[in-house]
Amino acid sequence: MRGADTVAELVGRQWGDHRIGLRDEHHTLTHHQVAAGAAARAALLVDLMPPLPGGEPHLGILLDNTPEYPLWLSAAALAGAAVAGINPTRRGTELARDIRHTECRVLVTQRAHLPLLDGLPLPGLRILVTDTDAYRELLAPYGSARPGDARLGPVRPDSRFLLSFTSGSTGAPKAALCSQGRLAAAGASLVRHFGVGPDDVHYVCMPMFHGNAVIADWAPALAAGAGVALRARFSASRFLPDVRLFGATYFTYVGRAVQYLLATPPEPDDRRHPLRLGFGTEAGAVDAARFRERFGVPLVEGYGSSEGGAAIQRTPDTPTGAIGRAAPGDDLAVVDAGTGLACAPARFSPTGRLLNASEAIGELVNRGRSPFEGYWRNPEAEAARLRDGWYWTGDLFYRDADGYLYFAGRTDDRLRVDSENLAAAMIEHILARWDRAAGVAVYAIPDPVAGDQVMAALALRAGEVFDPEEFAAFLAAQEDLGTKMPPRFVRVMTELPLTATNKIHRVALRRASFLCPDPVWWRPAPGAPYEPLTPTAVTALRAAYAHHGRAPSPHHPDQAVSSGSRPARGSEGDDPARG
């Protein structure tokens, strides 16, 4: 099939195709019905937000993975609008900020998420609630629309299409831009790389506000004419039943989801399913091997971001623990951020331990033509990414003598929890409201399996003591504390460590992790009461880290950064019940 220049063209190709194109547990739509539904929504969209100077208008989507999500993505492509995926784990003023920053004129949501919007200052925003009679009545007059009938303006490859939130170490999340042409090209690239065809069915169980689901799952399905099956929120217990029900052959993941799947009770028919491939990030070598052994499905690890500034592709000869080599067209290098010079090739011990970390680890940069299209209304962040003609990823890597790349951490104070990048400063600003605290530092420590966990150091005011129940109640009362932000570990200190320039010594805090002389409180499970971290609990945690080839700190003496494991990189999802 000839390649497409835009997402709109791919949506239009579904017209007249009466094979099953989109399913969930309640709905079944043909490709033709998807195109027709997208055309109707595009016509409604044109009437709701006529064009204004300044390019494509913005539509916000605050939905679970219901059929309305891909229908509205398709509608925006046809109409020439851009979509901001709104994260439902954000809360209060921070959620309102995301919607206002991306200048959304219409927000598509569902009744379950309406409480998140109660009382938020969102002047002039038109809200469509998809699971209501009023919405169905509003859409009904547009039922005869065809793709291309209604447009807000020209639809070109460089038309803005996605605004995907990503966050760094400071400030509010940034909205990375993705054009129709880049998303169409990304889908076509994955089709070629994995041999995706029209008979495949892509199971989308990662949240669609995240680039993982849209770029790596929905876009290649659209490019190949494959079917799409949806799960509203990730569920480990429903994974295999869904795969069998929908005939799914391909899915995307991040590491936490893989962990949840492996935690389900083994069944004799675990290999009875049509899946042939999982594509994602951060599963870890140990869990990827366990997944293939149990389910008979290979997990192909990749590296990329919503920004699209650099991509790494895995090949069949990629060593265990490596991500792969630079994607075609990328000139990737691992450089010393201070000098800009290439770092030395990695050297390994016979057991795979990295021997020359200090000279081999550096920041991954793309020295060639970068597909990075910028951030919405954030020139400072763009300048930080594009320096000296290079795209700086903000991620640390090392490279072996054969050119294979291995992930080694981040260059700033980001935390990556359940595949979401969180800004430590934002969490600190919230925790600093607790009146018992004189100082707060928030930092990442490795999760035993993949990604990070949130740890906070609290310096208490003179005469104060740490009250775990009061602290938990304080956290629960903070409307802008997202579901991924509460600290799992709390270190109680008399004062925070400082550097010579009177900045918080985060390296020292991360190095100590929870293996420190100060009292540490922790939640054994998300949402559980805080309790003292006892020696018995520490022993159990050490065993969990060791089982997955990790350690409580990238800097701790227990840590062995090897070709068989990747340190501190995040994973998708939450508790399986929450998705």
pLDDT number for residue 190 = 95
Instruction: Single out the residue of 297, 302, 275, 272 nearest to residue 287, CA to CA.
Output: 297
Residue 254 in this model has a pLDDT that exceeds 60: yes
- At 537, the amino acid letter reads A
pLDDT number for residue 35 = 98
pLDDT band at residue 1 under the 50/70/90 scheme? low
Count the residues in the chain. 579
| Residue of higher predicted confidence among 3 and 476 | 476
Residue 111 in this model has a pLDDT that exceeds 90: yes
Q: pLDDT tens, 367-415?
A: 998 889 999 999 999 999 999 899 999 888 889 999 999 877 666 666 7
Q: pLDDT tens, 132-178?
A: 999 999 999 999 999 999 999 999 999 999 999 985 444 578 999 99
CATH number of 414-547: 3.30.300.30
pLDDT number for residue 554 = 62
The structural domains of the chain, with segments of one domain joined by +, span 7-179, 329-410, 414-547
pLDDT number for residue 413 = 62
pLDDT band at residue 191 under the 50/70/90 scheme? very high
Residue 560 in this model has a pLDDT that exceeds 50: no
Residue 501 in this model has a pLDDT that exceeds 70: no
CA-CA distance, 439 to 506, in Å (whole number)? Answer: 13
pLDDT band at residue 553 under the 50/70/90 scheme? confident
Residue 98 in this model has a pLDDT that exceeds 70: yes
Q: Which residues contact 134 (CB under 8 A, 6 or more apart)?
A: none
pLDDT number for residue 571 = 30
Residue 534 in this model has a pLDDT that exceeds 50: yes
pLDDT number for residue 262 = 85
Strand ranges for 8-50 from DSSP E: 20-23, 28-30
CA-CA distance, 377 to 307, in Å (whole number)? Answer: 14
Q: Which of 218-227, 368-377, 448-457 has the highest mean pLDDT?
A: 218-227
pLDDT band at residue 116 under the 50/70/90 scheme? very high
CA-CA distance, 22 to 28, in Å (whole number)? Answer: 6
pLDDT number for residue 145 = 98
Instruction: Single out the residue of 498, 470, 478 nearest to residue 433, CA to CA.
Output: 478
pLDDT band at residue 423 under the 50/70/90 scheme? low
pLDDT band at residue 565 under the 50/70/90 scheme? very low
Q: pLDDT tens, 284-343?
A: 677 788 899 999 999 998 887 778 889 898 888 999 878 899 987 789 999 998 899 999
CA-CA distance, 544 to 551, in Å (whole number)? Answer: 9
Q: What percent of the chain has pLDDT over 90?
A: 65
**In whole numbers, what is the pLDDT of the chain averaged over residues?**
88
Multiple choice CATH, 7-179, 3.40.50.10680, 3.40.50.980, 1.10.150.130, 3.90.1170.40:
3.40.50.980
pLDDT number for residue 252 = 96
Please return the burial class of 308, using the count of CB atoms within 10 Å of its CB with bins 0-12, 13-18 and 19+.
buried
CA-CA distance, 226 to 50, in Å (whole number)? Answer: 33
pLDDT number for residue 172 = 76
DSSP state of 86: P
CATH superfamily of 329-410: Luciferase; Domain 3 (2.30.38.10)
Instruction: Single out the residue of 345, 353, 292, 298 nearest to residue 321, CA to CA.
Output: 353
pLDDT number for residue 76 = 98
CA-CA distance, 39 to 226, in Å (whole number)? Answer: 19
- At 185, the amino acid letter reads A
CA-CA distance, 57 to 53, in Å (whole number)? Answer: 9
